[in-house]
Amino acid sequence: MIGPETPRRTVLRSALAATGTAALGVALAACGDKDSLSEQANSGSDKGYIAGDGVVTQLPPSKRGHPVEAGGKLLNGKHFDLADWRGNILVLNLWYAACPPCRKEAKDVEAAYRAYKDKGVRFLGVNVRDGAAAAKSYMRTFDITYPVMLDTAGRVVSALHGVLPPEATPSTLLLDPKGRIAGRVVGEVDKTTLKGMIGDLRT
């Protein structure tokens, strides 16, 4: 689990080979090159959440693979399709209520959402474990206002095999305006890192 100090984050501009994978209508680019994250993905974990190794990965446009295709029902009852959100940067954040690093990063993710929601950046929370009541309680506790979907079956994480480790919670993915994965953080993300990654995509 994450200790009292935020791990050093090193930006890796690694080459990820794109392959198609799908589950529950989600089609995602898979990681082809081996790095510390793919090694974690291969080894697996059973502790329920991951602190990550402090590594941020950002991809140049030529290495971003295929767009993410996903749709479903948000916690507020509205339906969504990521194809309708193209033209915007998308921050995809995986969390659940009892995850300590998720709770630690929650206010920073919400702060980034509020800073960028009117600047062409959308956010989607993916709750990987809770029912609606627990998820809504968490959202009230941390004053979360960005859209959230429930994925208690873990199919979104499964669809990200090779991009995220099996127990990759919390994790944050950034999609470019074409819907392609442009960056990832496994483990807790802080406001400075998240805003920096968003800023890189906006330039």
Query: Domain extents for the chain?
Result: 10-202
User: Could you read off the pLDDT tens digit of each residue along the chain, which spans 203 residues?
Assistant: 433 333 333 333 333 333 333 332 333 322 323 344 344 334 444 445 444 445 788 999 998 888 887 778 899 999 988 889 999 999 999 999 999 999 999 999 999 999 999 999 999 999 999 999 999 999 999 999 999 999 877 666 665 666 776 667 899 999 999 999 999 998 999 999 999 999 999 98
Phi, psi for 121 (deg, rounded to 5): -125, 125
CATH for 10-202 is 3.40.30.10
